[in-house]
Amino acid sequence: MDLILGVETSCDETAAAVVEDGGRILSSVVASQVEVHAPYGGIVPELASRRHLEMILPVLTCALQDAGVGLADLTAVAVTAGPGLVGSLLVGVSAAKALAYCRRLPLVAVNHLEGHIAAARLEWPQIVHPFVALVVSGGHTHLYHVPAECQYRLLGRTRDDAAGEAFDKVAKLLNLGYPGGPLIEREAARGNPQAIPFPRAVCSDGSLDFSFSGLKTAVVHHLKGYGPTGRAGEAPGDAEVRDICASFQEAAVDMLVERLMRAAQEVGVGRLVVAGGVACNGALRRALTVEAEAEGFELYLPAPALCTDNAAMIAAAGAVRYRRGERAGWDLNATASLPLA
């Protein structure tokens, strides 16, 4: 039996988890920083790093206690080495290295994006390769072909804003607050998604890349009165805000679903994995389910708690790397732009 301690501090959640044999979650503890960053409408890297320093030891202690294990019971320590905010990453990497060194435990470096993809195995251990994976979050929007274990081929990525970043920016434009994703989804539920014909970006070269900057700019122009129902000099009323949210969300979801389905068709793969914080969005989950069923694809969409940043997914990905004999050296460092493929 392998007990892997996962450590995740890539952005604004301090997380630790203990996972047994790469698939059974014994504990998963996440300390959120929403209240720290909400006044600023987005993540402040320096504040994120400081809060990680405050929370890393209590979170690690709680994860071990919840799992009912001690340091002596652990098989290895897996930690997110990138990508992410370098200051935040350094807190987790330093803590994991210190713990592994003191207890003479193997240290395993994990790519944050691989962790999101590995979240699917925590719910469906039987999932087999190949599959196409969409990782969609506040900082990442990537499409991968995963032909075999630990093999990744990049099919497409955002050329500007990540999907979650676009949600946050539009929410800020509408004075809804932070984080933007849940707030826009809440307002969109009472709006008309066909009210405003926001654009769906299509790359002229036919690639599978994403672009959300134009969609965000279309919202800006609409609010300035350039849109089809905009009124210059007036702030939108509650009903119009709901329609803007619904129309924006519909456009963003359409782009994500279209690229994923086209990617699966182009590589000839009938299994889809979708993960990342934006995968919590109900409209996206419904659209993915409908389209996957229509195309005859198998869809693996983890529960929302496993889509947002957590350390169980890092431990799951680390367990695979550990079984393959991969070990990180004591010179392991945080890499803000660590590529997966």
More confident residue, 237 or 218: 218
Answer yes or no: do 105 and 158 share one domain: no
Report yes or no: 141 and 274 within 8 Å, Cβ to Cβ.
no
Q: Which two tokens stand for residue 200?
A: 């769906």
Average pLDDT score over residue span 175-192: 95
**Structure confidence at residue 204 as a pLDDT band (50, 70, 90):** confident
Say if residue 9's pLDDT is above 50: yes
CATH number, residue 206 = 3.30.420.40
Answer yes or no: do 297 and 314 share one domain: no
Alpha helices in the chain (DSSP H): 34-37, 45-67, 86-103, 112-123, 163-173, 180-188, 213-223, 238-267, 282-295, 304-307, 312-323
**Structure confidence at residue 235 as a pLDDT band (50, 70, 90):** low
The pLDDT of residue 227: 46
What's the pLDDT tens digit per position in 72-100? 999 999 999 999 999 999 999 999 999 99
The pLDDT of residue 236: 74
Question: Quick one: which of 250, 242, 238 has its CA closest to 193?
Answer: 250
92 belongs to a structural domain? yes
Answer yes or no: do 36 and 173 share one domain: no
Q: What is the pTM of this model?
A: 0.94
Say if residue 228's pLDDT is above 60: no
Residue-number span of the structural domain to which 96 is assigned? 3-117+306-323
What's the pLDDT tens digit per position in 277-325? 999 999 999 999 999 999 999 999 999 999 999 999 999 999 999 999 9
The pLDDT of residue 121: 95
Pairing of strands 271-275, 298-300: parallel
Provide, rounded to the nearest whole percent, the portion of the chain with pLDDT above 90.
Answer: 91
Q: How far apart are CA 126 and CA 280, in angstroms?
A: 22
Report yes or no: 56 and 91 within 8 Å, Cβ to Cβ.
yes
Report yes or no: 197 and 215 within 8 Å, Cβ to Cβ.
no
Q: How far apart are CA 299 and CA 264, in angstroms?
A: 11
Q: How many domains does the chain have?
A: 2
Q: How far apart are CA 254 and CA 288, in angstroms?
A: 10
**Backbone φ and ψ of 230, nearest 5°:** -70, 155
Alpha helices in 143-295 (DSSP H): 163-173, 180-188, 213-223, 238-267, 282-295
Answer yes or no: do 137 and 283 share one domain: yes
Say if residue 131's pLDDT is above 80: yes
